[in-house]
Every structure is written in C-alpha cells, then in structure tokens.
Chains A and B, each alone.
Chain A
Amino acid sequence: MSAEVAPPETAERGPNESGTGEGGIVERLVEFGHALRAHDLPVGPADVLNFCEAANELSVGDPVDLYWAGRSTLVHRRDHLPVYDEVFRQFFLGIAPPKKNEETAEKPVPQGQTGVLDVPDSEGGEEQGDDQPLVLGLQASGVEVERNKRFDACTEEELAAVRRIIKRTRLQPPLRQTRRRAPDPKGRTFDIRRMTREAMRLSQDRGELRMMSRKVRPRPIILLLDISGSMADHSRNLLQFAYSMNRAAQKVEVFCFGTTLTRITPALNRRSPDDALRLAAERVFDWDGGTRIGASLDEFVRTYARRGMSRGATVVICSDGLDRGNPILLSEALERLARLSHRIVWMNPLFADATHGTPNTLAMAIAAPHLDAVETGHDLASLESFAVRLAEIG
C-alpha cells in the first residue's frame, strides 16, 4: 500500500512497448486523470494514485484491463460512466467523440437576461400558447419547449417575499417513531443500560427505575413541483418554498416537472438561497413548457419511489392539475405512489379562486381518491400555514 513506491513500480513493470522512458506510463495515466477532470469528473489525486496502483496490478498494455482499472478507481457514480467511456475512447484509443458537446452540455446562461426564449408553438391542434393559460383554465399549454427562466427576473417585492419565507417558515415536518430509544421518565420500557451504569458507578443497586421510550424523527418530505406554463406564476414561489423546506427539515427531496421530471435537490443544498435558486433554475430545462403530470409522476415512481425514496414519506405535489397527458397513466402512477408513500398532499393554487372551488379538472378528479389532503398554496400566507399544518396531515 505504500503510496510513494507504486508509481515507479508501474513504470518498471509496464510493458513499455513504444519505448516510453522511465515514468512515461505513469505520466500517461496521470494525464488521463487530468483529461477526465477537464470533462468535469471529480477525479482527485488520490483517485489517480489508486488508478496507478490498480494498473500496476494488471497488465497496462491491455486496454481492457486499463479500462476496468480506471473505471473502478476513477469513477464513483453511475452517471459518470458515459463520460468516462467517452474520454477513455478518445484518450487511449484515439477515437474522436461525436460532435455534439458544444450545444448540449454547457450552454452558459447569459448574465442579466431574463431568458424568455420565444419558440413558436408548433405542436399541432391546440391553438393557445402561453399567453393566457390561467384564463383558458382547463387545458394546459400545448408547447413543449425547453427554456431556462432566470431568477433575477424576480421583482423587488418577490425577493423580499423570499427572505420572509426563508426567515419565517417554521416548518413542522410530520414525525415518525424510530427504532432507537432515549431516556424518558414517562416511557414504558426499562432503561437497563442506564440502571446498570448507575449501579456500577455507585457500587450498589439503589433499585431506582429508569425508563426510556422510542425516539421520534421527522418524516422525509418529497416535493414535486409543477413548473409548466400554466403554473408559471406560482412555480417561482414554490421553488423558494422548497428551498426553505430543504433548510428546515432533515430529509427533503425536490423534483420539478413539466414535460419531464428533474431532480433539483442537490442544487438546493447551497448555503446562499440566491445561489441555490439560480442553480435549480439552470437545472430545469423545460421551464414553462407544457405539462404531463401522469408521465412525470410515473417517472418518479419508476426511478425513485420504487427504490424506496418515498417510503414513509409525505409527498407534496404542487400543480394546477391541467394535464395534457394520458389520464390512465396518471391514475396508475398515483395509485402506485399512494402505496409507496405515507401520505400524498396535492397543492393546487386554482382552488383559492372562487370560480375553481371544486376539483374541476380531469386530473384532479382522477387524483382525488388517492390524496390524503388538498391544499391551495396560492400565496405566501397559505404556504406558511401549510408548512405549519404539515405535521397534522402526517
């Protein structure tokens, strides 16, 4: 394991086929590490060292061995595998990558621009665009475009509201019992460990009973935010709400959906709310596109809930229920989700409106049997009251 010895050994033992001098192979391996880093893979010096050590155990001349040595030492996440494959191919096998990176991978968001890209509504049939979705009400926007709306479009009042939420929201997540126990005079189980400790400390058993009980801990909360065109007025607020929730509760997962589902939890784990919201906004690509609630929920169930993310959790869906997708898909997804989670709450801002007093959309009618509560969440006050009442729901 001695770290300092390994690289020279690699050089000695390596096949040195093309007359590479002393240390040539090590240099090549290290360069490869740098190449990965240049492609945004988090490859540290320790990883490179491991890679060299691993390569030392195998035959460096065999690209297959080299490939697997690198893959098991330099890559720590499954998502990074395609990048690794690409860089490996390019670096060791000299195969050029397909030309596409420039457009998709890193498109810098222009500073200070509000980012409303007008893409013509070309999807057949539906006549209405984004301009008046709330008035049209019962049908969602037919546009499926990927847009990136920036948070610096917030007005001063909105920004003030953000700060208010973040400061004031005292989130009371629902609680659940854990396996662990803690001292509790009113508990119903003997705390034998504590009694023994005391007895030994005092060298006698005074016969006093110590009790303990199960500890409670907050339930995980999962937020699924609709950011489609018809929810545009609300989605920014919801995202801010998500951020403050993420700060207040222990386990919060946040997803955005429109036409597709995006997990933005990592982006929200920033200390500065502005940074967090900016990152989250950049991550979501179908900002203000159309809505496919069924498909998005289905994707959530398949990729996350099935693995156990929502087990015992309170799932909060924020959407106006204006779905363009297949209603059967929505029904099935919700039914599954109901079985995989503890509670489902639907927050629908339309309910605050007098004219929309009842579940008037098809999606809401389908969802109703699977929901444990329906909230409005249309303004700050209702969000705040929801945060407090969350504990009663779960």
Chain B
Amino acid sequence: MTDSATHVGSVAELQEELRGVGYLAERGLATAAFIGLRLGRPILLEGEVGVGKTELAKCLAAIHGRELIRLQCYEGIDTHQALYEWDYARQMLQVRALSEHELTDASTVGGLYGPDFLLERPLLQAIRSGGNAVLLIDEIDRADDEFEAFLLELLSDFQITIPEIGTVAAEDRPIVVLTSNRTRELHDALKRRCLYHWIGYPSLAEEIEIVRVRAPQVAEQLAEQVVQAVHRLRDLDLAKPPGVAETLDWVEALGVVDAETLDAQSATDTLGSVIKDRDDVEVVTSDLDRVLTD
C-alpha cells in the first residue's frame, strides 16, 4: 500500500501523469482515483459504454509501471476461472507415471499438489503480484451475485486459502479497478468497499482535447468537426449513443479514407465506425445534414 502512496503527490499531479499516457481525467475522476490510490481502496467506475472506464485501469498501470491483470466477468464465472484451478490432466498423467514406476513415496504424491500443477487465474496472480499489479475486474455486473460476495471477501483482506498449499496473502495491495455497465444493481456491501465514480460524457472542449491527445495526427479542424457531430448524435434519440471510444474510432476511420473534412460523403462512408445499430443508422442517415451542420 505504501508503494502506491508514494507515487502520487496530488490530484493535479495524477491528472498530469495520466495525461502523459494519453488519458484525460476530469477533476472528479482524478480525485476518486487519487483517494483510491492513497487509501489503498478499490475504485468502482460506472458509466455509459465507451467513456474510458477500462482505459483508466490500463493507464494507471502504465504510469506506475505495473502489470495489468484483467479479469473479464461473465455470467456463470466461478473461482476456477477467476482464482485458481488444478491442472487435472497433468496430475492424471503424473499419477499414471507414478503408478507405473511404483514411485509412491510421500514426497512424490505431495508434489501432485505443488505449484507445478497449479494454474493461476487473474485473482491469484494479482494477489501474488501485489504492489506490482493493477487488477482490473471488468464488467462485474455480468457476474452472478455469489461471485460478487466472494469478491467482497477477497477485496477486503487480499488473501486466499488454498487447502492443499496454504494461505497466500498479498504483501502490498494491488491497485484495483472495477467497472460496471449497470445491467444490474451491484450489492451495497461491495459498493461500500469501493470509491464510486460515475463517468459521464465529456464536454465539447474536453472531448476535442481527448481527440488531440489520442490522435495527434488528425487536423485540428477535422477533430472539432467530428466531436461536434458526435455531440449532436448524442442529442438525437438513438438506441446506442456513441461514446468517446466511437469518436476516436470515427476520427481514425476518417484518417484511413484520407478525408480532410467531415462532409456528407465521408460521413456516410465511415458512419459504421460510430453508429452500430441498424435502426440508429437509419435515423442518422435521414437527418445527416443536421448532424453535420448546426
């Protein structure tokens, strides 16, 4: 815990460091991250799709020179996929080999449950790496309730007990970032362990700045045009409004087709990079003029 604490001096410094790796964090997000780092607490990020929840974890790893360990959650995830599992196939082969050669003294049998046969999954990796890791638990809302409860226990003391080996504890806590798309409400108990921050869409100026930092090769005028268009898209009644990730995709796509300005032709050609729902495409196409010009 002390390790991470020494790295960040102030909110402004953290903001500056994040900016250095291409992540523009607004004051609130930077403060939440700063407090999380200083107090050694997990950071829970919620927000619309494509606003940079996952990206923050990557950038925190980058600025602290830590390894990013990612646990992607999904329905039905359990400890075997998240924590550790024994390599049963290898154990089986070992048993066969042992019984053929009749080598059954205590040490060889005990070896079956040694580190050689243990498959580390992200959570165990994170505990082992401790202060050298950033643990990203992505889309926690997709996992089941029971898994959340298990995670709660793990996040509070960062140690687990493997019956055959013993207790593994983290010397320094890893930085933990959880993200959720709010497909369901998380348990309050888990939320209490974490610092909570809702990431909204950035303002026009902020988003132009983001494009500048992430895609410096893009002409200023084009960047402004695209961001303005995306903001108008968000005002339209779309099923899936574009996030910041889509803005960046769009700018990149326009770069690939060598477009210098955003006009009706280039916008139609590259619309697929920003609008990803057929109904939405229809809405936007019928209203394209209004999206491109005020």
Contact = CB atoms under 8 A, between A and B. Distances in A.
Contact of B239 (A64, A180, A306): A306
A78 B92 contact: no
B197 A76 contact: no
Nearest to A80: B196
B104 A203 contact: yes
Interface string B184-195: 110010011001
A53 interface: yes
Interface stretch (B30-38, B214-222, B265-273, B284-292): B30-38
A65 B14 CA distance: 14
A41 to B, nearest CB: 12
B11 A65 contact: yes
A302 B239 contact: yes
A204 interface: yes
A253 to B, nearest CB: 9
A46 to B, nearest CB: 7
B95 interface: yes
A60 interface: no
A307 B35 contact: no
A301 B112 contact: no
A185 interface: no
B65 interface: no
Contacts of A146: none
B46 interface: yes
B92 A195 contact: yes
B112 A72 contact: no
Contact of A64 (B27, B91, B181, B191): B27
A65 B184 CA distance: 30
A307 B183 contact: yes
B88 interface: yes
B86 interface: yes
A47 interface: yes
A76 B45 CA distance: 10
A1 B41 CA distance: 10
Contacts of B188: 42, 76
Contacts of A57: 34-35, 38-39
A381 interface: no
B99 interface: yes
- Of the four ranges (under 10, 10 to 19, 20 to 34, 35 or more), the interface on chain B belongs to 35 or more
B99 A50 contact: no
Contacts of B181: 307-308
Contacts of B46: 78
B38 A205 contact: no
B32 A68 contact: yes
A200 interface: yes
B182 A307 contact: yes
Given A57-B38, A58-B11, A72 B197 contact: yes
Interface in A191-244: 192-193, 195-196, 199-200, 203-205
Contacts of A53: 39
B89 interface: yes
A175 interface: no
A179 interface: yes
A200 B196 contact: no
A287 B104 CA distance: 74
A143 B96 CA distance: 78
Contact of A72 (B35, B89, B279): B35
A73 interface: yes
A205 B96 contact: yes
B40 interface: yes
B94 to A, nearest CB: 9
Contacts of B197: 71-72
B279 A332 contact: yes
B121 to A, nearest CB: 15
A77 B198 CA distance: 9
B20 interface: no
Most buried by B among A44, A78, A332: A78
Given A68-B27, A72-B196, A196-B91, A77 B32 contact: no
Contacts of A193: 86, 88
A248 B34 CA distance: 44
A46 B195 CA distance: 12
A279 interface: no
B28 interface: yes
A196 B88 contact: yes
B196 A75 contact: yes
A302 B48 CA distance: 12
Interface string B80-117: 00000010110110011001000010000100100000
Given A178-B75, A192-B92, A307-B181, A58 B35 contact: yes
Given A53-B39, A72-B197, A200 B31 contact: no
B240 interface: yes
A336 B195 CA distance: 35
B267 to A, nearest CB: 24
A203 B10 CA distance: 60
A8 B188 CA distance: 28
A69 interface: yes
Nearest to B89: A192
Contacts of A77: 185, 191, 196
Nearest to A192: B88
A293 interface: no
A54 B198 contact: no
A199 B35 contact: no
27 contacts: A1-B1, A46-B192, A54-B35, A57-B34, A58-B31, A65-B11, A65-B31, A68-B27, A68-B28, A69-B31, A69-B35, A76-B188, A76-B196, A77-B191, A78-B182, A196-B86, A200-B95, A200-B112, A203-B99, A203-B104, A203-B109, A205-B95, A205-B99, A302-B239, A306-B240, A307-B182, A309-B183
List 9 tightest A-B contacts by C-beta distance, closest first: A68-B31, A76-B191, A72-B32, A308-B183, A179-B76, A72-B195, A54-B35, A196-B88, A57-B38
Given A179-B76, A336-B279, 5 more contacts: A58-B35, A68-B27, A72-B197, A192-B92, A205-B92
